[in-house]
Amino acid sequence: MALLECRKVSRHFGGLKALVDFELTLEKGELVGLIGPNGAGKTTVFNVITGVFPPTLGEVVLEGRVINDRKPFQITQMGVARTFQNIRLFKEMTVLDNVRAVMHPRCGYNLLDSFVRTPRFARRERELTEEAEALLERMNLADRRHEKAGSLPYGAQRRLEIARALATRPKLLLLDEPAAGMNPSEVGQLVELIRKVKQEFDLTVLLIEHQMGLVMNLCERLVVLDFGQIIARGTPAEIQANPRVLEAYLGKAVAE
């Protein structure tokens, strides 16, 4: 059984067809890239998968269950986590508390426990803190855990956002332009980080990215969107040589 299937998924906003008959199958453990020019519909795919927008037509299926009508928090609880093109952190909170905040839906204590500070409350808070600190250690952020998230350098904020996604214990990780704003050195470190977390956390990864060097070095296969429709699928080498892809990016026909 596939981990995720998008079956002829379309998303319309009034008369605008942002996504048309989109089909994608992700098997467990894959690392797949979703690429295309600006406005091609890539982030709409992520929004439909995560329940931000339900599909106008078609089905999104997670481990055999249709999730069209699920809310974003429910889909997160089912094992889908994402990062965003524009970093979304609690910038006035500490690095540690940013990670702890997403763990509280599974805290295991009730309101009375938190008011009275019962042993159960103390035990679970300690366990969640230890888990959050372990994630920060893996992201090379442990020494900055008490700093405000907004004070971190850009690349460190990106790593913190990935740490927060991992804190939800996902099966499927959606990364929306994780290398945006990074310099070449940071991009190289990010490639190794994504490979590391994919292996260590037994993840399936779907990646949107404009940095072609990252995509070609990291992804096992690629899906290319243009104007909301898939125009190509294949390995990085096949996509690099595809005339339709070159035309979409360059804006003109490429001679055979």
Closest CA to 225 of 70, 32, 54: 32
CB 28 within 8 A of CB 204: yes
Beta bridge partners of 61: 5, 66
At residue 188, the 3 state secondary structure works out as: helix
pLDDT score, position 254: 43
194-219 residues labelled b (16+ CB within 10 A) or e (exposed): beebbeeeebbbbbbbbbeebbbebb
What pTM was estimated for this model as a whole? 0.88
Sequence-distant (≥ 6) Cβ neighbours of residue 91 within 8 angstroms: 148, 149, 150
Average pLDDT, 10 consecutive residues per value, the chain (256 residues): 96 94 97 93 96 96 96 95 88 93 70 63 75 92 94 91 94 94 85 93 94 88 95 93 82 48
Name the percent of the chain in helix, strand, coil, to the closest 5.
40, 25, 35
Which domains, from first to last, does the chain contain? 4-89+154-250 (3.40.50.300)
pLDDT score, position 36: 92
Neighbours of 118 (CB within 10 A): 14
Using CB atoms within 10 Å of the CB of residue 80, give its burial: 0 to 12 exposed, 13 to 18 middle, 19+ buried.
Answer: buried
Q: What DSSP designation does 149 have?
A: G
At residue 58, the 3 state secondary structure works out as: strand
Beta bridge partners of 65: 62
pLDDT score, position 255: 43
